[in-house]
Amino acid sequence: MIKMKSNPTTLLISSNDQKSILSRNLPEAIGIIEAAFEKKISGEILLPDKISVIFDEETQNRINCMPGALLKDKVYGVKWVAVFPENPKEGYRNVTGTMILSELTHGHTLSVMDAGYLTEIRTASIGATAAKYLAREDAKTIGFIGAGQQARRHLDMVKIVRPEIKTCYVSSLADGSTERFIEEEKLLHPDMEFIDCQDNYEKAVIDADIVVTAISGQEPILKAKWIKKGAFYIHVAGWEDEYAVPKLASKIVCDDWECIKHRTQTISRMYKEGVLTDDEIYSDLDEIVTGRRLGRENDEEFIYFCSVGLAFVDVSFAKYIYDKCIEQRKGTKFQF
């Protein structure tokens, strides 16, 4: 009779553990994204359907269950993430959750980790990777609608792939948020000029080579008439631009159109209403990253990028963080 063994220990990884690893290795986040897309193209991932339960249609309060596997790496993970856009008004983070990572030899749970910071970095890294291939190489200006954590992370990550950016416009309706954004980001990017646009969204966008809407609202605040010729737009959340914005685009690129079309993003709404078709989507980002399709072809194109978040990318970040924690002896070991 085979004697049953005790389960191996599981590693509990906090957001502070993650920050201590990723803050020193932010450029590696772009490599994690690119490697994950290579694996997707090569058929090395599993991406079951994301389950998103919306508890308030007006605020879009929701909890998502996002599973995914990296087959050659023999890991499977699930992210249980809550997105409550109104939370910052009460002093809470709008994105919280938990990531569970398991190995696929015996099915043991390798790690349980905070998913809030992981989601911030993954989302910003996707946007920055898209900027690497789709923004103008001579991009000098970036404009933000929204001044919270996601805006800050996007600036940090985009600056890695477009270090020539020298001017940042930032706008927000939240009292004091633009001032806090500038105060913190100036310390990280002393070579940049920051322009506080307060609540003037048009001023933040109209001269920007790269536009980012990092907000929690559900209304079309970005106007097509503000978009500069040759601009690149990173659409981060849900419904934040008028339908004329994607209609203006030379190319619409997604992290995964098949996933996006069933969600609540601007182009998802357009698809469901019959005003946007599959043929109007140029490409998924993985095809561009792997060279199967061209990215930006000239400086005149306005390119629109939309991401919904893909679980196998979260799993890729979770595995990277787990491996680094083992290597650096971070995290807290426990047994169920």
pLDDT the model gives residue 91: 80
pLDDT the model gives residue 2: 62
Q: How confident is the model at residue 240 (pLDDT cuts 50, 70, 90)?
A: very high
Assign 192 to helix, strand or coil.
coil
Report the amino acid identity of residue 5: K
The predicted model gives 216-239 an average pLDDT of: 91
pLDDT the model gives residue 5: 62
Q: How confident is the model at residue 4 (pLDDT cuts 50, 70, 90)?
A: low
pLDDT the model gives residue 258: 92
How does DSSP assign 229-287, residue by residue? TT-EEEE-SSS-B-THHHHH-SEEEES-HHHHTTSSSHHHHHHHTTSS-GGG--EEHHH
151-167 pLDDT, tens digit each: 999 999 999 999 999 99
Residues of the chain with pLDDT > 70, as a percent, come to 98
Q: What share of the chain is helix, strand, coil (3-state, %, to 5)?
A: 35, 25, 40
The predicted model gives 130-146 an average pLDDT of: 97
Angle (deg, nearest 10), helices 149-161 and 177-188? 30
The predicted model gives 251-262 an average pLDDT of: 93
Token code pair at residue 93: 């983070």
- How far is Cα 223 from Cα 202, in angstroms, rounded to an integer? 8
Q: Structural domains in the chain? A: 10-118+312-334 (3.30.1780.10), 136-309 (3.40.50.720)
- How far is Cα 139 from Cα 131, in angstroms, rounded to an integer? 10
The predicted model gives 244-258 an average pLDDT of: 96
Which region, left, alpha or beta, applies to residue 229 given φ > 0 means left and ψ of -120 to 50 means alpha? beta
Torsion of CA 221, 147, 214, 39, to 10 degrees: 160
Q: Sign (positive/negative) of CA torsion 264, 233, 88, 95?
A: positive
pTM of the model: 0.91
29-71 pLDDT, tens digit each: 999 999 999 999 999 999 988 888 989 888 888 898 999 999 9
Residue-wise burial string across 68-93, b where 16 or more C-beta atoms lie within 10 A, e elsewhere: bbbeebebbbbbbbbbbbebeeeeeb
Q: Taking 60 as the threshold, does the pLDDT of residue 1 lie above it?
A: no
265-313 pLDDT, tens digit each: 999 999 999 999 999 999 999 999 999 999 999 999 999 999 988 999 9
CB neighbour list of residue 57: distance below 8 Å, 6 or more residues apart: none
- How far is Cα 199 from Cα 147, in angstroms, rounded to an integer? 11
- How far is Cα 197 from Cα 211, in angstroms, rounded to an integer? 14
Q: Please classify residue 35 by burial: count the beta carbons closer than 10 Å to its beta carbon, then call 0-12 exposed, 13-18 middle and 19+ buried.
A: middle
- Cβ contact 75:45 at 8 Å: no
Q: Taking 70 as the threshold, does the pLDDT of residue 97 lie above it?
A: yes
Q: Taking 80 as the threshold, does the pLDDT of residue 125 lie above it?
A: yes
- Cβ contact 235:266 at 8 Å: yes
How does DSSP assign 307-325, residue by residue? ----HHHHHHHHHHHHHHH
pLDDT the model gives residue 143: 98
pLDDT the model gives residue 228: 95
